[in-house]
């Protein structure tokens, strides 16, 4: 899992510009673990921090149920230059949400500064036949982080947690 998190971080920083110097990266992440979270739930819907805006995500996490998408999102959210949507939006896979339009989708994103990466997580996009084209139409250069898990481990975990 640690390798996956580091790989995801490197992918994001390589394409967005590294926000933290190499030597300070580890110390920054250590100081943030458990002490600070920039989750969007902390912001009231009416309060907009100065210099921020709601932006469509630059990255979307997709994957399978019980595959670790929530864990990846929570680990990435520790970084101060990443903000995450509070819930699974299901914009691209549910027609009743898609017809509400891109402005509705943007309104569900957290406030972010220009140097921050906005991330949404909806595993259902992975199995939706219409989601890939809709995502591409919105932003053809968006980064998709796909999380997969060994099918046997996943089945055992799901069985153990539903029995």
- DSSP β-bridge partners for residue 119: 59, 84
Provide the terminal-to-terminal Cα distance of the chain, rounded to the nearest Å.
26
Instruction: Find the DSSP H helices in the chain.
Output: 2-16, 22-32, 69-76, 95-98, 102-107, 131-138, 151-162
Distance CA 12, CA 112 (A): 16
- DSSP β-bridge partners for residue 120: 60
Question: Is 70 flagged in the annotation as binding?
Answer: yes
Question: Is 68 flagged in the annotation as binding?
Answer: yes
Distance CA 97, CA 94 (A): 6
Question: Is 66 flagged in the annotation as binding?
Answer: yes
Q: Radius of gyration over alpha carbons of the chain, in Å?
A: 16
Q: Which residues are catalytic?
A: 66
Compute how many other C-beta atoms are within 10 angstroms of the C-beta atom of residue 109: 21
Q: 110: which DSSP letter?
A: P
Question: Is 122 flagged in the annotation as binding?
Answer: no
Residue list, annotated binding site for 3'-phosphoadenylyl sulfate: 66-70, 149
Binding site per annotation, positions: 66-70, 149
């Amino acid at each position: 899992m640690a390798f996956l998190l580091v790989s995801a971080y490197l992918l994001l920083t390589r394409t967005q510009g590294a926000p933290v110097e190499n030597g300070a990266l580890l110390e920054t992440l250590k100081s943030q673990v458990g002490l600070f979270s920039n989750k969007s739930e902390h912001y009231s819907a009416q309060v907009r921090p100065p210099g921020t805006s709601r932006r469509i995500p630059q990255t979307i996490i997709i994957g399978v149920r019980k595959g670790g998408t929530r864990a990846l999102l929570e680990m990435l959210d520790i970084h101060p230059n990443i903000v995450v949507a509070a819930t699974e939006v299901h914009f691209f896979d549910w027609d009743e949400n898609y017809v509400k339009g891109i402005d509705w989708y943007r309104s569900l994103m957290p406030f972010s500064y220009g140097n921050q990466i906005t991330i949404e997580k909806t595993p259902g996009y992975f199995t939706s036949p219409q989601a890939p084209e809709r995502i591409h139409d919105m932003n053809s250069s968006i980064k998709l982080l796909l999380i997969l898990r060994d099918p046997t481990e996943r089945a055992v975990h799901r069985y153990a947690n539903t029995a």
